[in-house]
A and B are shown apart, each in its own frame.
Chain A
Amino acid sequence: MDNKIAAVKMRNITKTFGSVVANDKVWLDIYKGEILALLGENGSGKTTLMNMLSGIYFPDEGDIFINDEKVVIRSPRDAFNYGIGMIHQHFKLVDVLTAAENIVLGLEEKLDLKEASRKIKEICALYGFEVDPEQKIYDMSVSQKQTVEIVKVLYRGADILILDEPTAVLTPQETDKLFAVLRNMRDAGKAIVIITHKMHEVEDLSDRVAVLRHGHFVGDMVTKSTNAQEMTNMMVGHAVTLNIDRPEPVDPKPRIEVKGLTVRSIDGILKLEDVSFTAYSGEILGIAGISGCGQKELLESIAGLQPVESGSISYIEDDGTRDEIIGKDPLKIADMGVSLSFVPEDRLGMGLVGSMDLSENMMLRSFRKGKSFLTDRKSPKKLAQAVVENLEVKTPGIDTPVRKLSGGNVQKVLVGREIASAPTVLLTAYAVRGLDINSSYTIYDLINQQKQKGVAVIYVGEDLDVLLELADRILVLCGGKVSGIVPGRGAKKRDVGMMMTRLGGNSNE
């Protein structure tokens, strides 16, 4: 271990945003030829720390050394000059340009796309990427776009790569491919930092882990000599259990029946094609699929937010009476007596209003109640207080704008409001996206509680491991069609992964 060469040394790095200390005297070493996993709960300062390395933020205090030389990184351009490249969660590519054009964009050298394509192919051959330099970005899948981002930083001569949650949008197969490439790059002597929440990826890929907690550096260790439990405990600061319950469904009855559902986007693109399934009460129906395969449209159709081309969605009551949902807006659906709750993917852009405080956000569902011209402010306040207490929301008070809360707490507020109305159907989209382990398990518990109360839960998820542990049945979407419905108990991750990429999953090869 002594022959490792530090590519980056960060010393005493402090960064504050207003009164919030994001990083407090953090020390971190990044070595060449090593993959470092940076762990920490939401708001522990991982991304902030890496943003300072890539020139997006400037540290308030502390020093950064690159190859033992003290440097000042004022901008992403400075960072590039020091060989630091960051691949962000949200890709920064121009859709209408080709891969090669995106890769050379912003470089000051003479524009020679042929030469660029040659160099790109060289890089791809070296590490095992597959990129067509002539392909337009809008024709690419998410994983191809990510590959372009990685090639872009390598093209600029990056020796130090930072990847912020790179696998959040990938299928298991694509993740394996990415990891193979990352290992190749490590073996070629690059220093790699990966930020992730998925423990099995950390164990699978990284050589070393470093843990941040509340902006402090807690410690680092060799991955081989630790395990998920220990790492989680370090992140959280106390022992946690890593098991998701899956109680047997009690007395399941059909609740939502979808038949031949076909949906087109405004641009006329087919988003869902002939989708049929039934969701039962007291059951969690997991929806798996690569992102953008129609999950959003499916949930929004059921919630009455999405215009539908054809098909039917019936709400079935306990006594067997059916009500059609299609063609009704959320208000009319509620008027029918259907208590439908929806936790959308975009929490602050759709589920909540970021600039409003907790109790005002509680009002979103209830403000129409009563005949008065004025709003009732008391009951939302009580509800907010109850949600804060029951779900242990960390907030300065119920009059704090929800935008100021961390991701996990925002989600608790949203879920808390949605389950407060005692729903019979609960739709959730990526309920734990971006949440740390602790908050994720709180959300799983809440969903399980609803299931046990007899709620029909439809859970759209992206982490297959979780879906396999949580859902009673898994519906796999592939390109807007139902690729198959499998029981959650005993399903194999590989099989579900195959079904996500190919209809039916098991055709030839």
Chain B
Amino acid sequence: MNKQVREPLFHISKRGDMPWYFGWSIRAAAIILALISCGIISTLVTGENPIQIYATIIDGSFGSMRKFWVLLQNTAMLLCVALALTPAFKMRFWNLGGEGQALAGALAAAACMILMKGQSNALVMSCMVITSILAGALWGCIPAFFKAKFNTNETLFTLMMNYVAIQLVAYFSVVWENPKGSGNIGVINPNSMIGWFPTIGGQKYLLNVLIVAVITIGMYIYLNYSKQGYEIAVVGESERTARYVGIKVEKVIIRTMLISGAICGIAGLLLVGGTNHTLNSAIVDGRGFTAVMVAWLAKFNPIWMIFTSFLLVFLGRGAGEIATDFGLNQSYGDILTGIILFFIIGSEFFITYKLSFHKASKKEEK
């Protein structure tokens, strides 16, 4: 028989109700700890003063007007993809295909710019908007259709659709290469600027930011106050309950993924028409995956997602700035970003659970 009478050192239990600020203070503490860790590691590696390093992080985002606008633009684009994924995630449909859906939209937009030579700017622009939304929606709808009809695994399906999109874009990069032999598309319509989004008040990125702001508010209302948003929530929580009250689950799955894909398509459109004016298979830059984290960290709340996407972009740019300023390569920035994310994600554990340590055992060992 087991004669051990030692109590466990600690045990884990779920936290009960707590005020909202409790969770946020833990998250804030995690970010501060993350920054301290990054500072210590960077100091050890570079020998620089940690204050200097933090200053560099801030400088990466706020160092100049241009850097600030890049920060806003990147935040907006990341947020846009995250907003697109959110309705699917609320439905517990794990859409990991944001990358591919955005690429499909980007491909469609670029195709309009390249192929509609000699057409008016207005016509090209409207075609870009329509085709990229349709392309993204199609890319999202295919896995949804198979999920609804045959209950295929959406995680794998959406993930693999990414690679199809990447290969398609790679193929067209060669078909439309400019100049010949480069294998790249280069800037499209550099002189006529056909299909380039207008600058507002001299700011190239302002239109993108405004469009995403509208989508954010729209998505918040859609998810929280619309009948369709309510259906999405019910289907996500329990398909059986949804059927019980007469919600057509298949229809909701397909409709929601159409919306999810369409907004990804808009992200692709904004990247081509508003930001880069070119197309390559790296144009979405992993946002389809980073957006998963943005959505989860914000608990699928579109308004909080503004902060989480801002945070991730800010940290990423700060890390990159350290890498360049101190002559380290880009991987060092990735390491720092990794450390920061480790802390942020780890903090969720402490928000959900608490550790109780036992007082030193009062018993004698037998």
Q: A17-B14, A353-B238, A374-B227 are in contact. Are A72 and B5 (CB under 8 A)?
A: yes
Contacting residues, chain A, for B6 (C-beta < 8 A)? 72
- Asked if A352 contacts B2 (CB within 8 A), the reply is no
B35 at the interface (CB under 8 A from A): no
CB-defined A-B contacts under 8 Å, sample of 30: A17-B13, A17-B14, A18-B15, A18-B17, A19-B16, A20-B16, A58-B8, A72-B5, A72-B6, A78-B2, A81-B2, A305-B244, A342-B244, A344-B244, A346-B240, A349-B238, A350-B238, A350-B240, A350-B244, A352-B241, A353-B237, A353-B241, A354-B237, A356-B237, A365-B245, A368-B227, A372-B227, A373-B226, A374-B227, A377-B225
Main secondary structure of the interface of A (DSSP, over half): loop
**Chain B residues engaging chain A, CB cutoff 8 angstroms:** 1-2, 4-8, 11, 13-17, 221, 225-228, 230-231, 233-234, 237-238, 240-241, 243-246, 248, 356, 363
A200 at the interface (CB under 8 A from B): no
Query: What's the Cα separation between A72 and B8 when bound, in Å?
Result: 9
Q: A58-B11, A74-B8 are in contact. Are A373 and B227 (CB under 8 A)?
A: yes
Query: What's the Cα separation between A350 and B239 when bound, in Å?
Result: 8
- Asked if A329 contacts B246 (CB within 8 A), the reply is yes
Smallest CB-CB separation from B243: which chain A residue?
A305
Q: How many residues of A contact B (CB 8 A)?
A: 42
Query: What's the Cα separation between A6 and B356 when bound, in Å?
Result: 31
A331 at the interface (CB under 8 A from B): yes
Smallest CB-CB separation from B11: which chain A residue?
A58
Top 5 closest pairs, chain A to chain B, by CB: A18-B16, A331-B246, A330-B246, A19-B16, A353-B237
Query: What's the Cα separation between A373 and B17 when bound, in Å?
Result: 34
Contacting residues, chain A, for B7 (C-beta < 8 A)? 72, 74
Interface residues of A in 155-212 (CB under 8 A from B): none
Contacting residues, chain A, for B230 (C-beta < 8 A)? 360, 363, 367, 375
- Asked if A330 contacts B245 (CB within 8 A), the reply is yes
Query: What's the Cα separation between A305 and B14 when bound, in Å?
Result: 37
A289 at the interface (CB under 8 A from B): no
A71 at the interface (CB under 8 A from B): yes
- Asked if B363 contacts A70 (CB within 8 A), the reply is yes
Main secondary structure of the interface of B (DSSP, over half): mixed
- Asked if A60 contacts B356 (CB within 8 A), the reply is yes
Per-residue interface assignment for chain A, residues 346 to 364, with 1 indicating a CB less than 8 Å from any chain B CB and 0 otherwise: 1011111111100010011
- Asked if A71 contacts B237 (CB within 8 A), the reply is no
Q: A74-B8, A351-B244 are in contact. Are A375 and B226 (CB under 8 A)?
A: yes
Smallest CB-CB separation from A370: which chain B residue?
B227
Query: What's the Cα separation between A285 and B281 when bound, in Å?
Result: 66
Query: What's the Cα separation between A193 and B245 when bound, in Å?
Result: 41
Among B221, B227, B228, chain A packs the most CB atoms within 10 A around the CB of B227
- Asked if B244 contacts A353 (CB within 8 A), the reply is no
- Asked if B17 contacts A19 (CB within 8 A), the reply is yes
Contacting residues, chain A, for B16 (C-beta < 8 A)? 17-20
Contacting residues, chain A, for B356 (C-beta < 8 A)? 60
Query: What's the Cα separation between A18 and B352 when bound, in Å?
Result: 10
- Asked if A356 contacts B233 (CB within 8 A), the reply is yes
Contacting residues, chain B, for A70 (C-beta < 8 A)? 5, 363
Smallest CB-CB separation from B5: which chain A residue?
A72
Contacting residues, chain A, for B226 (C-beta < 8 A)? 373-375
Query: What's the Cα separation between A377 and B2 when bound, in Å?
Result: 58
State how many angstroms separate the Cβ of A158 from the closest Cβ of chain B.
13
A222 at the interface (CB under 8 A from B): no
Query: What's the Cα separation between A20 and B15 when bound, in Å?
Result: 10
- Asked if B241 contacts A72 (CB within 8 A), the reply is no
- Asked if A81 contacts B1 (CB within 8 A), the reply is yes
Query: What's the Cα separation between A372 and B230 when bound, in Å?
Result: 13
